[in-house]
Chain A
Amino acid sequence: DSGVTQTPKHLITATGQRVTLRCSPRSGDLSVYWYQQSLDQGLQFLIQYYNGEERAKGNILERFSAQQFPDLHSELNLSSLELGDSALYFCASSVEGLAAYNEQFFGPGTRLTVL
């Protein structure tokens, strides 16, 4: 158990809908990362937050957005869902201290199925 929690574990929805995925980082970790994992694209970095602020953006679609709250949990919002958005979505967290080398601890993931 990495200490990172994600809810829900599974999500089934229809095209055009909007969903919210939730992540709680390990205690003490300030950075949260979101990744999308699909069979054909591997593990794709979406976005990173550090202590409430957006730090880095990857291949995140404009239909997707995220935020990190004062208690450090994070939410990934996916809207106008398309069939191609079906994937595993992982959250990871890290301490992000100066002495740390960014070991990222991954949650168990949310499997999103868009029908």
Chain B
Amino acid sequence: QQQVKQSPQSLIVQKGGIPIINCAYENTAFDYFPWYQQFPGKGPALLIAIRPDVSEKKEGRFTISFNKSAKQFSLHIMDSQPGDSATYFCAAGDRGSTLGRLYFGRGTQLTVWP
């Protein structure tokens, strides 16, 4: 059973566009929601993370929006650039019971055309 559902599977935008990747979860005990970015041939790297006590977090051109009641969160990339082309994974974790384990979505392959 997929604990975190991610969509879309792939996304193509033009440079300057605002790709949006969505994730949904069921386990209300989750209290940590990171996004990871992975380039071909590399391991995933933490991009930005949010905790459920805030509804939005921005870091540079990357923004996470969090809707606790809907159990959904999303990643927005402002003014997207070709260098943002990568696979993005959302994840969720519960420090209390799972002691560090993260549940990952299946990933979104983003392509930004110049």
Contacts and interface: CB of A to CB of B under 8 A. Distances in A.
B99 interface: yes
B68 interface: no
A45 B44 CA distance: 13
B34 A103 contact: yes
Interface string A52-96: 000110100000000000000000000000000000001010101
Interface in B84-106: 89, 93, 95, 98-106
Contact of B43 (A50, A96, A103, A109): A109
Nearest to B98: A56
Contacts of B42: 108-109
A55 B99 contact: yes
A107 B43 contact: yes
A58 B34 contact: no
Given A42-B104, A43-B104, A45-B101, A102 B43 contact: no
Interface of A: 2, 4, 31, 33, 35, 41-43, 45, 48, 50, 55-56, 58, 90, 92, 94, 96, 101-109
A52 B45 CA distance: 24
A4, A104, A106 interface centre (most CB from chain B within 10 Å): A104
A106 B45 contact: yes
B107 A43 contact: yes
Given A33-B100, A43-B107, A45-B103, 4 more contacts: A42-B105, A42-B107, A43-B44, A56-B100
